[in-house]
Amino acid sequence: MPRVLHVQKIDGKPGKVYYPIKIREAPLPEVGPSQLLVRMDAAALNHKDLFIRRHLYPAISFENPLLADGYGTVVEAGAAVKQRNLLNKPVLLNPMLMWESDPVGPERGVVLITGASSATKTGCAQDYALVEEDDVVPAPAHLTPAEGAALPLAGLTGWRALVTKSGNAEAGRNILVTGIGGGVAIQVLQFAVAMGINVYVTSGDQAKIDKAKRMGAKGGVVYKNDGWERELKSLLPESRPYIDAVIDGAGGNIVSKATKFLKPGGIISQYGMTVAPKMEWTMQAVLMNIELRGSTMGSKREFKDMVAFVNEKKIRPVVSKTVKGLANLEGIDGLFKDMDAGTQFGKLVIEINDRPSSKL
C-alpha cells in the first residue's frame, strides 16, 4: 500500500506547538484523463515545512502529504495527456499552482503552494503523486533524483527574485545575496554566476562564505560583525564601487544597511522575511530612490524558463544532506533540526526509493 508522510495534529498554540510527523497508508489514486501518476523518488524540505510543523502557516492539512519539492518518474498517463513522451521519464513537480505566466503576479490574485495544504492534495512526501500534465516539466538529465528534488521551489523563488524582479540579471552587474547557505540564496548565486554577474554574499558563518566563494562568489562578509556594510563596500571594485541589487530573504534592517552600498535607484528584491513579519523603511532609502520589490515564488512560465536555464548551463543544485526512506522518521526529523539550526549549506532531501519504474 502506498505511503504518505504528513503532520499529526496535537494541542498547542501557533509558534509553540511542534506537530509530529507520521506515516499513513493510502490507496493508489485513480488517474484522470489529463493527469499523471508520478512515483516519487526524492523530496526536499523548505522553511515552509518547518513553519507548518509550528502552525505558523495558513490552511494546514493534517492528512495531505508534506513537502512541495519533488522529483519522480511518470508511471501512468491519462487518456487525454498530450505529452505521451513523459511516460517512464523523470519529471520535476511544479510547487506553485494557479499561476500561469503573468510576470506581475498570479492571474487570480492568489497563489497555492503544494505540500500539507488543505486546498490541494498534491505533495511530494509520498510514494505516488497525482498531478495535472501541465504541473510537471521533464527533469534535466544531468541531475540526480536528490538534486532534482532540491531545485523546484528554491529555484523558482530565486529565479523570479533575480531575473524577473531585480532588474539586474546582466553580466557585469554587482549583486548582494544575503543569508548564503539557504536553498534560495544558493540558487540565486548559481544562476547569477552562470550569467556573468558579480555576486557578493553575507552569512553568519565564515565557512559558508568560503564555500560560496568556491562556487564563484566574488567575496562575502559576516553579517554578525559590526559595520559589515562598510566591509562589503571595501570589497567592491573601483570600476563599479556599488551594489546594483540586493536579493534578500531575511528582512530586518536590510534597508538601512543597503543605503550604505546600494547605488541610487538600486533594487532590493525581497523574497522572504525570516527575521520578522515586518521591516523598516527609511527616509534615506526614499532620498536615494531605492526600490523595494516583493517577490513570491513564481509562475509556470518562470518555472519552465528556470529549468531550461539549469539544463542549458548544467547547474547542479547543492544538496546539504540526504536521508533514505520515507518511513525514516528519525532521520527526517534530523533534517528538520538541521533546518531549524541553520547549519545546512544547500537543500535537505529525503530519498524515497530507488526501485525501477513501476506502479507497485
Encode pLDDT of 117-137 as tens digits.
999 999 999 999 999 999 999
Does a structural domain hold residue 213? yes
Query: What is the C-alpha R_g of the chain?
Result: 20
**φ, ψ for residue 171, nearest 5 deg:** -55, 140
Domain end residue (candidates: 254, 274, 294): 294
In the predicted model, is pLDDT for residue 357 greater than 60?
A: no
Q: What integer pLDDT is reported at residue 356 of this predicted model?
A: 38
Q: Can you tell me the distance from the alpha carbon of 106 to that of 89, in angstroms, rounded to the nearest whole number?
A: 29
| Same-domain status, 302 and 283 | no
Does a structural domain hold residue 42? yes
Count up the domains in the chain and report the number. Answer: 2
| Same-domain status, 102 and 53 | yes
| Same-domain status, 181 and 215 | yes
Domain enclosing residue 211, as ranges? 166-294
pTM, two decimal places: 0.94
Domain end residue (candidates: 294, 312, 332): 294
Q: What integer pLDDT is reported at residue 14 of this predicted model?
A: 96
Q: What is the mean pLDDT of residues 60-85?
A: 97
| Same-domain status, 7 and 150 | yes
Q: What integer pLDDT is reported at residue 306 of this predicted model?
A: 99
DSSP secondary structure, 69-110, as one string: EEEEEEEEE-TT-S-GGGTTSEEEE-SEES--S-SSS-TTS-
Domain end residue (candidates: 250, 273, 294): 294
Give the model confidence (pLDDT) of 164-198 as tens digits.
Answer: 999 999 999 999 999 999 999 999 999 999 999 99
CATH, residue 338: 3.90.180.10
**φ, ψ for residue 152, nearest 5 deg:** -55, -65
Three-class secondary structure of residue 18 per DSSP: coil
| Same-domain status, 313 and 242 | no
Does a structural domain hold residue 323? yes
Does a structural domain hold residue 91? yes
* Largest pairwise CA distance in the chain: 63
Does a structural domain hold residue 356? no
Give the model confidence (pLDDT) of 92-115 as tens digits.
Answer: 999 999 999 999 999 988 888 999
User: What percent of the chain is predicted at pLDDT more than 70?
Assistant: 98
| Same-domain status, 188 and 304 | no
In the predicted model, is pLDDT for residue 355 greater than 80?
A: no
Q: Can you tell me the distance from the alpha carbon of 166 to that of 175, in angstroms, rounded to the nearest whole number?
A: 9
Q: What integer pLDDT is reported at residue 31 of this predicted model?
A: 97
